[in-house]
Amino acid sequence: MSITSVVLIVILVLLAGYAVILYNALVRLKHSISKAWANIDVMLKQRHEELPKLVDTCKQYMQHERTTLERVVAARQAVSSARERGDVSALGKAETGLRSGLGQLFALAENYPELKANESFQHLQQRISGLESGIADRRELYNEAVNLNNVRIEQFPDVLVARAMGFKSGELLQFSEAEKADVDIKSLFN
């Protein structure tokens, strides 16, 4: 065996080893996206279970706010449907509608002193607000995992392994511009 053959074999072994390292790093990123999504999913399920209790509590007091309650129920169903399908884009839109409906519901509750004083309502409001914060935190982690994955599968030499092994870019979980806009509190009380 010539020295050229040995050098060539060493180079091929090193390249194969490097490709394995790149592949394993990409697999880790792919699974970090799945893990981050699973964490969001848990929080969405918990909130999904709490919302009917909140709506039922509110129905007892808010006889004249039927459209707001119906909007929250419809938005809850849209979030659930998008979550079950794993449709990140639809989930972002549905979340925007649900958060808007919850904001209106909590603002309208200010007009009902008996409801505001209700211990069940207070507990549910705090629980849902805590879940909302948790979802926002988990969304940030999910989007970071997706971003890391998307950057890696586009960088050289990772792109060679990513294309060869069929790695796909992930979709960021985004909410519409309406969610980011300032809330007109006055209009909620009119």
CATH code: domain of residue 121? 1.20.1440.20
The predicted structure's pLDDT at residue 144:
95
- Radius of gyration of the chain, Cα coordinates, nearest whole angstrom: 24
C-alpha distance from residue 86 to each of 6, 72, 91, 120 (Å): 50, 21, 8, 32
Q: Is the distance from CB of 175 to CB of 96 less than 8 angstroms?
A: yes
**66-85 helix and 3-59 helix, angle to the nearest 10 degrees:** 160
Contact 89, 171 (CB under 8 A): yes
The pLDDT of residue 178: 52
Total number of domains in the chain: 1
Which token pair is 133?
A: 């914060």
Q: How far from the centroid of its chain's Cα atoms is residue 72's Cα?
A: 18
Tell me what pLDDT residue 104 has: 87
What was the pLDDT predicted at 17?
94
CA-CA distance, 62 to 90, in Å (whole number)?
Answer: 30
Model pLDDT, residue 187: 46
**Model confidence over 103-149: pLDDT tens digits?**
888 888 888 888 878 888 888 888 988 998 899 899 999 999 999 99
* Nearest C-alpha neighbor of 144 from the set 172, 176, 174, 175: 172
Q: Which domain holds residue 153?
A: 3-188
Helix (H, G, I), strand (E, B) or coil at 2: coil
Low-confidence stretches of the chain (pLDDT < 50) are: 179-190
Helix or strand run (H / E) with residue 114? helix 113-117
pLDDT at 1: 77
pLDDT value for 86: 85
> Residue 154's Cα: distance from chain center in Å?
23
Q: Which two tokens stand for residue 8?
A: 């060539």
pLDDT at 27: 95
The whole-model pTM stands at 0.74
Neighbour count for residue 26 (Cβ, 10 Å) = 18
